[in-house]
Structure formats: structure tokens, C-alpha cells
Amino acid sequence: MDKPIVAIARYEKPLESLRKAVELCKGMDHLPANARVFIKPNIVFWTRKVAFPKWGVITTSRMVEDAVILLKERGIEDITIGEGMVVVTRDKETPAHAFESLGYNELNKRYGIKAINVFEREFREVDLGNGETLNFNADILGSDFVVDIPVLKTHAQTVASLGIKNLKGMIDINSRKKCHNADPEKNLNYWVARLADPMPPMLTILDGIYTTERGPSFDGRIRRSNIIVASADVLSADMVGAKVLGYEPSAVPHLVHAAKNRNRPCDLSGVAVVGERIEDVAALHKHTFPYNQTDTLPLPMEKMGIRGLSYRKYDLTLCTYCSSVNGVVIAAVAGAWKGTPWDDVEVLTGKSMSPTPGMKKTILFGKCMYQRHKDNPDIQEMIAIKGCPPQPRSIVEAFHRAGIEINPSIIENADAAPGFFMNRYEGKPEFEAAHFTVT
């Protein structure tokens, strides 16, 4: 049996670089005539508060348009771009603003493609085996062919976020919460590994024009890498992508699960790599944020001398919406430090953490933590933030009650935080705003 082909190409010029990668991997050789095609980009997070390119976080519009052109060259007329992005207020206007800003409406005028927010569309329950189900967007399930275009990046929870992980944007909110459960065996990696199982035939394109260390979001470190990885086999693409990011596929737990599910080795022995050599493009991208030796405080905060606080490292159970707020809260807490030790405060996040006996004040961050520990006798003073996700005012009030005077404006304007992080790249010639527009 022929090995799946994975192509690695340098991004050098619009369209032609992607054309080379797709031709090398034969990624569209089995595209049905008159196919209904669904393009799944990666739009992790969007806000209308700041206008800036999302280098290394969001799929470039350049790669999306080039994929559309290649499809149109093959006579494909029915093309849909769809995403279920994270927005602070879960409104309809913000996704619409994202599509307009990224040029998808221009793609509609130019090529007739449709752009949909999957949260406004139908979801279907899919049995993934053993009676285990997730609810997937009906449009992608009903398509004849999928073009999956994630960013080439690491992920603080799943080590890498590539083709399979990108499909998490195709499940509904309840399914996403199910993925972030407290079961140590059937955890986030277990569920992510199965996201590609119900998909139609698929071409995976890893957009590495920009790559991200400590992703998946804007608080990571972005690089201009100019790499494209493409394959008609998503697992093979992801295993090569992991190697490009500096990881053996066996070090990425959800790829281990996915390989086992497919009765394949979790290495490149069954993959044919063409184009550029992995060793010529690979560079280690760290995936986890540094914490102290006991994982009770982010390392930069420990170096600041912060005492009287335990803010434990996130785990796999911290879901998307709490995660999107958590980094901003940590920044606000660091900004509140004035040199006087706090009163033995601990912050618990996710779904599996337990309180530490002897701590004087325990902040239960989010509805899941509150439900788990609302009657826990080990808590001396419980300070609950009950929302799902937690609301800014509740977060501020909780930390103030604990004696940590965080700046309310930082939390209330959390959706403006991406601008602060992305300003690090503003004005650097290798970070091009044009890659996120259609002109």
C-alpha cells in the first residue's frame, strides 16, 4: 500500500507556493467534480476592540484565497468558509466583523464563496464509537470535500494545534465543554484525536507563513517561518507538522490516540515526505508557559517576588472560554503586586483542581470549580466566581475580596488585550498586515 504523501514547501510567493505544495502531495487529485467544498480556517479569537493582524494566531487570508483559487481552477463553484470562533460576548456581529476584516466578503464578491458562523447553523450529533458523541456543524458534514487550513503552531494544552485540532471549531459549545472534562483517561487529547473521524475527504494545509510558540493565542511568541505543509491525510500532515515544530509525534498525546485509532505507528515510518527536508525547516517551538517548580505560580510572577498566592498551572480541563480570560487575569494579578504578601490566597481553575488545606482564601474560578467545591470543608473562606464564562465584574469583585486589588479596566477590557501583545510585532517588516486582507 502506498504511503500517504506529505509535502513541505517554502512560502515564497502568493498562489505558486501553495500550488507547489498541493501538487507535490497530490492533495486535490481526488477532488470530486462539482464538489461542495468546505474550507475550515483557524480563527481562534476575534474582537472588535482592536484592529490588527493576528500573526501566527489566525490563518492568513493569503492562504485562504490561494486555496480558493486552486479550487476554482478545478471548476469548483460551491465553496463555503466556516468557523466557530471564540468571542467574548458570543454575539453575531463579531464573527461578521471578522469575516469582513479578513476579506471573506470580498472573496464572496470575487469568487462567489460563502462565509458562515457555524454557531448560527445546524449541528448534528455524531456517534464516534462506543456510544460517544459530539455535535458537529452540519455544513462540513454535508460537504464532499474539506480544505482544513490551521496555523502551524504549538498549544499550551495539547502540545501542537494542527489539522485535527483545528476541527474543534466545528463542534458546538456543549461538545467543547465535554472535551475539557475531568476524566483522566478520556480527556481533551482523547476527544481531539477523534475530531477528524467523521470528516469527508480532506486536504490539510498547515499555514506556517507565521508560526507560534506557546500558542494557540495572541500571548504566545510569533515567528515568520514561511513554511507550508500539505497532505491529503490529516494525521500524516500533523505528524510532519509536529516534527517541524520540534516534537516527535509520539510526544503529542492526541496524535498518539489518533494513530492508535487508525492502527498506524505514531512516527513517520509510514509517511512519504516530499519537497523540503524536515531537518531544513524544523525549529523547536516551546508549547508550555513556564511555572515554578511546584506549578503553583507562573515563573515570571515568582521572579517578581510574589508571595501569599497560589495560582496553579492550567490543566487540560480548563475550557476555551475560561482559558481566554485566564491569561488576562494573571497579567492583572501581576500588575496588582505592591510588595506586601497576600493573605494565603489560592486560585483554582478548570474542573479537576482541589483546594489546599491551610490556605485562608480560595477563589473558585468559573462555574465548574464552584459546582465541584461549593461544599468542600477544606476551604476556609470560599470566594466564588460562578459564571460560564466568568463575567468581568465578578472577577474583579472576587479578587478584591481576596485582598488582591487588580485593576478593573484590565479585566473589563479583556478583549482589547490582543492589541497589547500584537504591538510587539508592529512595524517589523517581516510581519505583513497584507497577509490578512484580500485586495
Domain ranges of the chain: 5-287, 299-419
Mean pLDDT per segment of 10 residues, for the chain of length 439 residues?
92 97 97 96 89 88 98 97 82 91 96 96 95 96 98 97 98 94 94 98 98 92 97 98 98 98 96 98 96 96 97 92 87 96 96 95 95 95 91 95 95 84 90 94
C-alpha cell at 113: 464563496
pLDDT value for 1: 57
CATH architecture of the region 5-287: 3-Layer(aba) Sandwich (3.40)
Query: 29: part of which helix (H) or strand (E)?
Result: none
Compute, in degrees rounded to 10, the torsion defined by CA atoms 419, 421, 422, 425: 140
Number of H helices, E strands in the chain: 17, 16
pLDDT value for 322: 85
Q: Please state whether the peptide bond connecting residue 392 to the residue before it is cis, i.e. omega within 30 degrees of 0.
A: no
Angle in degrees, 0-180, between the axes of helices 61-73 and 104-111, rounded to the nearest 10:
20
Residue-wise pLDDT tens digits, 176-217: 999 999 999 999 999 999 999 999 999 999 999 999 999 998
State the amino acid at position 271 in one-letter form. V
Q: What Cα–Cα distance (Å) separates residue 161 from each residue in 10, 32, 208, 365, 429? A: 20, 28, 12, 25, 26
- The pTM is what? 0.94
Place of cell 500500500: 1
CA 323 to chain centre: 11
Q: What Cα–Cα distance (Å) separates residue 426 from each residue in 54, 122, 315, 336? A: 11, 39, 32, 27
pLDDT value for 88: 62
CB 412 within 8 A of CB 392: yes
pLDDT value for 413: 86
